[in-house]
Amino acid sequence: MVSHLPKCLSEFSLEEPAENVEEVQKSKSVGYKKKKLKKHTPSRPMGVLELARYTMWREHRERLMNIVSEIDQSPPATQAVRQTRVNALREEAQQFMQRTKENIHMLLNLSQTMRTHGAIDPFRHDAPYVMSMVPATISDLEQLEQDNFDMGKRLLSIGSEIDSGLKADGAANKRDSQPFVMPDRAMAKYKPFNIKLPSTDKERWQLFRPRIYFEMYLKDARPLGRIVVQLYTEAAPVVVLQLVRACMCNMHNKFQIKRLFPNLWLDVELPTENNTALNSPLEYDGKIIDHGSGGYVLSFSKSHLTGFGDSIPFSISFKPLHVVNGSRVGFGRVVKGSKIFECLQSYGNKNGTLSRGLTFTDCGVL
């Protein structure tokens, strides 16, 4: 059965292509050359039909070996310049810069048009009429000021139906208009020196009863308000002078709150810079202010009568203290802002430590 199969499937068909491998490889390098099959003589005699079939197989093999493809099967060539577009980068960069420049000029022109309200025609010789908001703004401010003035007049004309405890208008300056009378007991020790007193009552109030104020602030929270202190010059002249001097120069940063004892007093220090008058024995009068008559009294200990040193420590009491009469010298009293001290007591403990920071943001002389 095997001998009657076509020769293309015989042993010769499997061996012949292997014999022609070298010839095919040489033809690729040299060029196209018509290939011919190697003559092969059958090993045995064949019949007429078998010989014709063998001849047809030989012709078919020759046609297959000489086939040339009409399609280019080689891979396409890759052009790196075309893929990376290196040559076009410069042109694209120039186009981008030119486009950006044109956009900037367009924005400038739009801005100029909006500022000049379109008056950019070079053939327009008359001055453009530009609307200004300044007159309208001034008119609005004047109207607002007039409205505020009218509102203030209406508020001043309102009378309270409830007794709020506030003084009437002009009561603050009533103090200066009253005649000032110095106690004879306080002036008795100064009579041998023939001191010339001020002629007007206003000057006497400012000399013997100066008033200072402090603006208090709860650190990192809110302002607490203003307290007004009336000082008594004859009680401790050097101490009162130092406090008035510090308030006149607005040295609010120098006043330091050290300790706070609820329901007792508040300790404050005022640093001094080598003041010889404060380091020498002090003149004082401990009978000017009675600590038991009321609270909110400014005082310092009699242990400092020989000199204060680097600072003036003083206290502000929260209630009447009869026990400190004779051991402390009172030189001032809070006349306004007592409710602020009621709020301050919640920020201290029995050890005097402050739970919240308390500072003075402003001070001055009234």
Q: Kindly report, residue by residue over 24-43, the tens digit of the pLDDT.
A: 455 444 445 556 666 666 66
Q: Mean per-residue pLDDT for 188-192?
A: 69
Q: Which residues of 296-317 are buried (b: 16+ CB within 10 A; e: fewer)?
A: bbbbbeeebeeebeebbbbbbb
Euclidean distance between CA atoms 194 and 103, whole angstroms: 89
pLDDT in tens, 301-310: 888 888 888 8
Q: Are 341 and 316 a contacting pair, CB within 8 Å?
A: yes
- For 283-293, write each residue's pLDDT tens digit: 888 888 888 88
Instruction: Give the pLDDT confidence of 195-223 residue by residue, as tens digits.
Output: 777 777 777 788 888 899 999 888 888 88
Of 3-7, 154-158, 246-250, where does the model show the most confidence?
A: 246-250
For the chain, give every domain's residue range.
Answer: 7-64, 194-365
* pLDDT tier at 10, thresholds 50, 70, 90: very low
CB 363 within 8 A of CB 215: yes
Q: pLDDT tens digits for 95-136? A: 999 999 999 999 988 888 777 766 555 566 666 666 788 888
Domain 194-365 is of which CATH architecture? Beta Barrel (2.40)
Structure tokens at 345: 């007591």
DSSP notation for 65-107: HT---SS--SPPPP-HHHHHTHHHHHHHHHHHHHHHHHHHHHH
Residues 6+ apart with CB under 8 A from 114: none
Q: Which of 175, 168, 238, 177 is nearest to 209 (CA)?
A: 175
CA distance 330 to 308: 16
For 57-67, how does the pLDDT look when each residue is reduced to its tens digit (9 = 90+)?
A: 989 988 888 88
* CA max distance for the chain: 175
The token pair at 186 is 């306080």
